[in-house]
Amino acid sequence: MSRRDLLRLGGACLGAAAVRPLGLAAAPATPPHQRPNIVFILADDLGYGDLGCYGATKIKTPHCDRLAREGVRFTDAHAPSAVCTPTRYAFLTGEYAWRRPGTGILSGIAPLIIEPGRLTVPALLQRAGYATGIVGKWHLGLGATAPTDYNGEIKPGPLEVGFDYAWIIPATGDRTPCVWVENHRVVNLDPNDPIRLDYSVRRGEPKSFVRGIPRIGAQTGGTAALWKDDEIADTLARKAEAFIERNKDRPFFLYLSTHDIHVPRVPHARFRGTSQAGVRGDAVHSFDWTVGQVLAALERLSLADNTMVIVTSDNGGVLDTNGPDHVNSGTVETNNGHPHNGPLRAGKGSAYEGGTRVPFIVRWPGRARGGVSHELICHVDMLATFAALTAQALPPDAAPDSFNVLPALLGEKPPTPCRDHLVEHGNVLAIRKGPWKLIPRGQAAAGKAKKGAARSPELYNLADDIGETRNVADQHPELVQELSALLDRVRERGRSRP
**Closest among 353, 317, 412 to 51, alpha carbons compared:** 317
DSSP 273-313: T-SSSHHHHHHHHHHHHHHHHHHHHHHHTT-GGGEEEEEEE
Q: Give the H or E element holding residue 169.
A: strand 165-169
Catalytic residue among 63, 78, 139, 268: 139
Q: Judge whether 139 counts as a catalytic residue.
A: yes
Which residues lie closer than 8 Å to 322 by C-beta, 6 or more apart?
A: none
Dihedral angle, C-alpha 200, 205, 206, 211, nearest 10 °: 90
Q: Give the H or E element holding residue 218.
A: strand 218-220
Q: What is the CA radius of gyration of the chain?
A: 22
Q: Give the H or E element holding residue 8.
A: helix 3-10
CA–CA separation, 156 vs 144, rounded Å? 6
Which residues lie closer than 8 Å to 478 by C-beta, 6 or more apart?
A: none
Catalytic residue among 13, 64, 84, 178: 84
CA–CA separation, 360 vs 48, rounded Å? 9
CA–CA separation, 295 vs 62, rounded Å? 12
Q: Judge whether 84 counts as a catalytic residue.
A: yes
CA-based end-to-end distance of the chain: 27
CA–CA separation, 175 vs 11, rounded Å? 43
Catalytic residues: 84, 139
